[in-house]
Amino acid sequence: MENSEPTKPVEQGSNEKNSGPLIIFIVAFILVVIALWQFSGGKIEKRPIDSSELFKQDVEVIPAQVTEQVEVQEPIELPPEVTVEPTETVDIVQEQAIVLPALDESDAWLQSKLPELTWRNELLTLLIDEDMIRRFVVFTDNFSQGLLAYEHSPFTQPQAKFTVDEQSVSPTESQNVWQWDSKTSKRFDLYVDLLRSVDSSTLVDWYFDVKPLIDEAYSELGYEDDFTYTLQDAITRVLDMELPKTSMALTRTSVMYKYQDPKLEALADSDKLLLRIGKENLLIVKSVLLEINEKLAKQVSDKN
């Protein structure tokens, strides 16, 4: 026991000195990794690898062949293309043929239609409701020739009678002379108002609707031509009527008054009637008839 060598004590300090640098390196490495991780937002970007760096020798790279099975479907036959034309909404107005009564039975039918022509229906009482179409045809035919067929007038006679200004009488060597009383023309105002209240387009259309009956009545007088031309002649006579530039003084050798001016007295009876209705009324009648005549001529041209 006494010859044995003493046990050599273990040097603890030497092991601690050898492991110290390793621990420091590990801690530093961890801190660097943590810093990089925080700097990159918690994502570590992988740098793309260049294959030229990995393989310095010529290496033949064979791309992988991927075989994909594609199911081939039979072509589907589509129905022939149908072209749909855009449809336009067209209002088709079918004109109903007007069924006219017989000429001898036309008065009641006309009386039911007349209110459609005017907004002054109360003035329709100025019309004579007996044999209306024949009256219109006969009176128009005579008027176009300068004549007045009072017994065939389509209008009732004015209630007021013709008068002169009695205060204006001035005796001459052979006769008394009266001045025209403009107030006496007022008795024709209602007739002019009736004409003015009629829509010209409606009146012309209505004339051609009723024309078969008008033609029948016109043929009864022995005429074979178109009554429309006679109607236009009557309208033209009114349009061509000139207002006198002199005063319309009157004389009387009997119960009838005459114009003192021989030129006025020589006028046709129809023209004298136009003088009696007065200047203002004549201008209104001219204006209305001018519009009617233009539309009448247009329809005649279109029909021909």
| CA–CA separation, 79 and 73 (whole Å) | 18
- 203 in a structural domain: yes
9 inside domain: no
Is the distance from CB of 238 to CB of 143 less than 8 angstroms? no
Total structural domains in the chain?
1
Helices (DSSP H) in 40-176: which residue ranges? 51-54, 106-113, 132-144
Q: Looking at the domain assignment, is residue 256 inside a domain?
A: yes
61: in domain: no
Longest Cα–Cα distance of the chain, Å, equals: 208
3-state secondary structure of 231: helix
Domain that holds residue 114: 103-303
Task: Report how far residue 178's alpha carbon sits from residue 248's, in angstroms, rounded to the nearest whole number.
Answer: 9
* For helices 227-239 and 269-276, angle between their N-to-C axes, nearest 10 degrees: 50
Q: Measured in Å, how far apart are the chain's first and last C-alpha atoms?
A: 164
The edge-to-edge listing of strands for the beta sheet with 165-171 is: 165-171, 176-179, 250-252, 257-259
Q: 175 is written with which tokens?
A: 């006769």
Does residue 83 lie within any of the structural domains? Answer: no
**148 in any annotated domain:** yes
Q: What angle do CA 156, 201, 210 make, to 5 degrees?
A: 60
> In tens digits, what is the pLDDT along the chain, a chain of 304 residues?
444 444 444 444 444 445 555 566 665 666 655 555 454 445 444 444 444 444 444 444 444 444 445 454 555 555 555 555 555 554 544 556 789 999 999 999 999 999 999 999 999 999 999 999 999 999 999 999 999 999 999 999 998 888 887 767 777 766 788 888 888 899 999 999 999 999 999 999 999 999 999 999 999 999 999 999 999 999 999 999 998 887 788 888 777 889 989 999 999 999 999 999 999 999 999 999 999 999 999 998 888 7
Report yes or no on 81 lying in a domain.
Answer: no
Q: Considering the domain boundaries, does residue 234 fall inside one?
A: yes
